[in-house]
A = this chain, B = another copy of it.
């Protein structure tokens, strides 16, 4: 569905061998961060953390579980594999500096396909200003596996964990929620149509925003920067990867607090609403449980209320309560519902 119609050159990976492939993929790297002392090409990369703490996070994306190459262009996939890790560093209020990338490839991938994947990886490195400093490239018996580790830095005074939310804090979220999930529903539907009749071309124009949110994940490093410039330090923060409900429960559990959010305050894009209704889903359910939005969910002290309120693109969706009050959603029809996790369960 996503491939070119013209048949491009195909160079078999076995012609290059592992070292040839690594040289081809990483030979042009120019390290941009001062902290990146030594990159690809030795037994390990060498990093000189300029100051403060080092953050490390790692995520694995597996074909057939996290992505479907029928509709995920390899370039977007490479970009996303980096972005989701940068997002985790951002969720600690840190800045990503280096990444390592491990790739397992079956022989159905050509050099050109792998280069497309790496184009996305390098584009993400450019966007987020981080260096690819190492990794591993191997063959695979079963499709494509991508495992990315991101290293970041944060000043000790700026570190934000999931555990710092306290009663009366405001709960904030960046951007809007549920779009990535609805994008996935549209892509899955069009795939079914295409599988049934390969003459049918996918109808995606009307769904550009939500499909883009699924395929082109972005880490909200701009929010981390704005928080720093505004001298606001969230009391707790997490990125919305599993879904708003699930991620709220993480904050509640680790901060040992209750919380209440308001249905009418949850930011949902009109395109997400339209698609949800078309699929006979509740937009609220989609925004609560959709996941993969990679927005930042954070709590702030009330003293920062005005600064946050005047900032476009950040919504205050509720507040932190005493633990005994549990986690609840105040609906548009003025009911109080308990929030339960229904995030991605791969098993």
| A residues with CB within 8 A of B | 13-14, 16-19, 21, 37-38, 41-49, 53-60, 62-66, 88-89, 91-92, 94, 98, 100, 102-105, 107, 133-136, 138-143, 145, 147, 149-152, 154, 156, 159, 161-163, 237-239, 254, 341, 344-347
A-B contact pairs, 6 of them (CB 8 A): A37-B53, A43-B162, A44-B57, A48-B54, A59-B102, A142-B142
Which one, B38, B102, B133, B341, contacts A60 given CB within 8 A?
B102
In the complex, the count of this chain's copies comes to 2
Docked CA distance A285–B15 (Å) = 24
Q: Is the CB of A149 within 8 A of B100?
A: yes
> Once the chains are docked, how many angstroms separate the CA of A152 from the CA of B46?
9
Q: How far is the CA of A126 from the CA of B231 in the complex (A)?
A: 42
**For the complex, what is the distance from the CA of A151 to the CA of B100, rounded to whole Å?**
12
Known: A44-B88, A142-B64. A18 touches B59 (CB 8 A): no
B149 adjacent to A149 (CB under 8 Å): yes
Bound-complex Cα distance A48 to B66 (A): 32
User: Does A58 lie within 8 Å of B104, measured CB to CB?
Assistant: no
Contact of A18 among B103, B143, B239, B344 (CB under 8 A): B344
Q: Which residues from B are CB-within-8-Å of A14?
A: 345, 347
CA distance A159 to B43 in the complex (A): 12
